[in-house]
Amino acid sequence: MESKIEAKFICLEEPAFFHLVENLYKRLKSTEAVEVKWITGEQAMILLGVKSKTTLQSYRDEGKIRYTQPTPKVILYDRESILAFLEINARNTF
């Protein structure tokens, strides 16, 4: 038994098309600007530029970055505390 795919088309005049694209762009851009407070360990490692889970754990254990553990197997990291940690450890090279 063969299934047929029906092609459906929507025709727009050029100004309407560009208006639609512009509104879509604005909507996508506004959702990108929303930053979440709590991030995963993988996201924290990328933000910190570390590759080792052990390093991430030592930062956590030493109180250098904030975290929460809502369930035994889930650890989330406070994005702002990571940014503050990076800022504190930033070096001026000029």
- pLDDT tens-digit readout, 9-58: 888 898 988 898 888 888 877 765 567 899 999 999 999 999 999 999 99
Using CA atoms of 83, 86, 87, 89 in order, give the dihedral in degrees to the nearest 10. 160
Note whether residue 2 is domain-resident. no
Note whether residue 94 is domain-resident. no
Domain count of the chain?
1
Note whether residue 27 is domain-resident. no
Residues 42, 74: Cα–Cα separation, whole Å: 12
pLDDT band at 4 (very low <50, low <70, confident <90, very high): confident
- pLDDT tens-digit readout, 71-85: 999 999 999 999 999
Asked if residue 2 has pLDDT above 90, the reply is no
Note whether residue 13 is domain-resident. no
What range defines the domain where residue 60 resides?
Answer: 38-88
Note whether residue 66 is domain-resident. yes
- Please report the pLDDT score of residue 34 as a whole number: 61
